[in-house]
C-alpha cells in the first residue's frame, strides 16, 4: 500500500459504527480509483458484529486509492480509502491486493429476491469489547498471553483479573495479511514476540512462532501437536462435497450471544395451545378498516399487542438482571424485539416504546422493521435496548420451539403455525384455527407463577380479542 504524502490527499479511516467495535469487513466498494465523490456519498458497505452498514465519505474529491479489497477485515481506525480534495485529476491506485475482485460500480442494482419469511430467530448481543488506544510501551508477551485472546483463534476476548498496578498488554498489532497467516497456521498472535517497528508483528514473526521448538534436554518429550506446525487438516477436507464458511460478522456475534445467554440465564419454557379463530376473524376485519389502510395487518400485530397488554398487567416480567451490582432492573417501558432472519444471520431489532403506541402506530413500526431487516439496513441502534422479544417460527410451518433469551432480556415468546385443527367448541368438535405459544423466561427474574400469568394472559387475549379493550 502506497502512503499518501500530498497535503491535498485525505485518508478516510474505518470508523467505529457501533459501540466499542474493533473491526469491520468490507463487503462492497461503490467507487473505484478515479471516481469523483461528494460529501455524504456512500462509498462502501461494511459488516460489523452487529449489522451491515453503509459508510459515507465526509468530503468532496477524487478517489486516489482503495487500500483494501472486498472481503478484507479491517481494524477500526485504519485508513481504507484515499481521496484527493484539491479538485484536480490525480493518478489513481488500484486496491491493495492484486487478486481482489473489481470494485462495484455505484449504480449496480441488486438482483431481486424472492419473498421469504423473516420473523424468526433468537437474537444477537451487542458487543461490549472496546479497543484500547495504541499508546505506551510494550510489555513482555508472557505477562499478557493469559489475559488476551484474539478472534483469529476462534475465541472471544477474555479479560482475567489483573493485580492492581500491573500493566495490561494491548491487542497485538498486525496487518490483515499477517492476521490471516496466523489464523491459517493456528498461531495465537498474543503469544508472538513482535520484531517490526512500533511493536508490529511481521510475517517472519508468525512463521517463527509456528516453527517447532528445539529440544532442550536429552529426555524424550512428546511430539508437538500437528496443528501447530501447519494447516495440515486441510488435506483431509473433502472439497468436492464440503463447503467451509468462515464464521464472522452477525453470525459470529449471534453464536457467542446465544452461548452466553444459554449458559448464564437459567431458562424455563412453558407452552399453551389455544383456539385463535376469533383473532383470525378480527385480523380480516382490520384489513378492511380505513384507519389501517396501507399498513401491515397480520396475526403478529395482534399477538404483539396481546403481549404488551399482558406485560402491563404483569409489569415485573419486564426487567433485566444486573450481575455486577446484584440487582434486578425493572423497566417502565417496553422495547419490543422482533426476531428476523436475514441473509447475514438472525437479528433482533426492536420497536422503541412499543407500550405507548396505538394499534396503527404499532402496525406501521412493524412494517418498517420488517422491510428494513429484509433489505439488510437495520442499524446497530435499532438492535440495542430491547426488553422482551417475539419470534414467529410459525411462518416456517413449525408448531413450537424452546426459544433462547435475547441477552439482557427477561422473556421471549415463540409463536407457532396457525392451523385448522379439530377442537372442542361449545361442546362439539369443530375445525378451529389453533396455535401453540411458548414463553421462555429467566428464572432469576421470573418465577413460575409470574411466567405462567403472562403466558395465560396472552393466550386469553388471543382466544377472546375483545379483552384488548377490557384489559387495556
- The residues that are catalytic are 443
φ/ψ (deg, to 5) at 323? -65, -40
DSSP state of 241: T
Strand ranges for 130-228 from DSSP E:
173-174, 200-201
In DSSP notation, 292-351 reads GTTS--SHHHHHHHHHHHHHHHSGGGSEEEETTTTEEEE-SS--EEE-EEETTEEE--EE
**What is the rounded distance in angstroms from the CA atom of residue 252 to the CA atom of residue 245?**
11
> Under a CB-based contact definition with an 8 Å cutoff, are residues 23 and 131 in contact?
no
Instruction: Report residue 39 as a C-alpha cell.
Output: 460529501
Instruction: Report residue 96 as a C-alpha cell.
Output: 491493495
Region of 426 (left: φ > 0; alpha: ψ -120 to 50; beta: rest) is: left
State how far the alpha carbon of 19 is from the alpha carbons of 46, 78, 178, in Å: 15, 17, 26
Grouping H, G, I as helix, E, B as strand and the rest as coil, residue 224 is coil
- Picking from 434, 413, 424, 121, the residue whose alpha carbon sits closest to that of residue 271 is 413
Computed on alpha carbons and rounded to an integer, the radius of gyration of the chain in Å comes to 27
Under 8 Å CB-to-CB from 140, ≥6 apart: which residues? none
List residues bridging with 389 in a β-sheet: 337, 412
Residues written for the chain: 472
β-strands 345-347, 340-342: how paired?
A: antiparallel
> Under a CB-based contact definition with an 8 Å cutoff, are residues 167 and 139 in contact?
yes
374-396 burial string, b = 16+ CB within 10 Å, else e? bebebebebbbebbbbbbbbbbe
Amino acid at each position: 500500500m502506497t502512503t499518501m504524502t500530498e497535503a491535498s490527499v485525505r485518508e478516510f479511516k474505518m470508523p467505529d459504527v457501533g459501540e466499542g467495535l474493533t473491526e469491520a469487513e468490507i463487503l462492497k466498494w461503490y467507487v473505484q480509483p478515479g471516481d469523483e465523490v461528494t460529501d455524504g456519498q456512500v462509498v462502501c458497505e461494511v459488516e460489523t458484529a452487529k449489522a451491515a452498514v453503509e459508510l459515507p465519505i465526509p468530503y468532496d474529491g477524487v478517489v486516489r486509492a482503495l487500500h483494501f479489497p472486498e472481503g478484507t477485515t479491517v481494524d477500526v481506525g485504519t485508513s481504507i480509502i484515499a481521496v484527493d480534495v484539491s479538485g484536480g485529476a490525480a493518478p489513481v491506485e488500484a486496491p491493495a491486493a492484486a487478486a481482489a475482485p473489481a470494485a462495484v460500480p455505484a449504480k449496480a442494482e441488486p438482483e431481486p429476491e424472492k419473498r421469504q419469511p423473516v420473523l424468526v430467530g433468537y437474537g444477537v448481543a451487542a458487543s461490549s469489547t472496546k479497543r484500547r488506544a495504541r499508546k505506551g510501551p510494550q510489555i513482555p508477551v508472557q505477562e499478557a498471553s493469559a489475559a488476551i485472546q484474539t478472534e483469529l483463534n476462534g475465541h472471544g476476548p477474555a479479560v482475567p483479573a489483573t493485580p492492581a498496578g500491573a500493566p495490561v498488554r494491548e491487542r497485538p498489532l498486525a496487518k490483515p495479511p499477517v492476521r490471516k497467516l496466523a489464523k491459517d497456521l493456528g498461531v495465537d498472535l498474543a503469544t508472538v514476540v513482535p520484531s517490526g517497528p512500533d511493536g508490529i508483528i511481521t510475517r517472519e514473526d508468525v512463521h517463527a512462532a509456528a516453527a517447532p521448538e528445539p529440544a532442550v534436554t536429552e529426555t524424550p518429550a512428546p511430539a508437538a501437536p500437528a496443528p501447530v506446525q501447519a494447516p495440515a487438516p486441510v488435506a483431509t477436507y473433502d472439497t468436492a462435497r464440503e463447503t467451509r464458511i468462515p464464521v464472522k460478522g452477525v453470525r459470529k456475534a449471534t453464536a457467542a450471544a446465544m452461548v452466553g445467554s444459554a449458559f448464564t440465564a437459567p431458562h424455563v419454557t412453558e407452552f399453551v395451545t389455544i383456539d385463535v379463530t376469533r383473532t383470525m376473524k378480527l385480523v380480516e376485519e382490520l384489513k378492511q378498516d380505513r384507519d389501517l389502510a396501507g399498513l401491515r395487518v397480520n396475526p403478529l400485530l395482534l399477538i404483539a399487542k396481546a403481549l404488551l397488554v399482558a406485560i402491563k398487567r404483569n409489569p415485573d416480567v419486564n426487567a433485566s438482571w444486573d450481575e455486577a451490582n446484584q440487582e434486578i432492573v425493572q423497566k417502565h417501558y417496553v422495547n419490543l424485539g422482533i426476531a428476523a432472519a436475514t441473509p447475514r444471520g438472525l437479528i433482533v431489532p426492536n420497536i422503541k416504546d412499543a407500550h405507548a403506541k396505538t394499534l396503527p402506530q404499532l402496525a406501521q413500526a412493524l412494517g418498517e422493521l420488517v422491510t428494513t431487516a429484509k433489505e439488510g439496513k437495520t442499524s446497530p441502534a435499532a438492535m440495542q435496548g430491547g426488553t422482551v422479544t417475539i419470534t414467529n417460527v410459525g411462518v416456517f410451518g413449525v408448531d413450537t420451539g424452546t426459544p433462547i433469551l435475547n441477552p439482557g432480556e427477561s422473556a421471549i415468546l415463540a409463536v407457532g403455525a396457525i392451523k385448522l385443527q379439530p377442537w372442542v367448541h361449545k361442546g362439539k368438535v369443530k375445525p378451529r384455527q389453533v396455535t401453540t405459544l411458548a414463553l421462555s423466561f429467566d428464572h432469576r427474574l421470573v418465577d413460575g407463577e409470574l411466567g405462567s400469568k403472562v403466558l395465560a394472559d396472552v393466550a386469553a387475549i388471543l382466544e377472546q380479542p375483545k379483552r384488548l379493550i377490557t384489559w387495556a
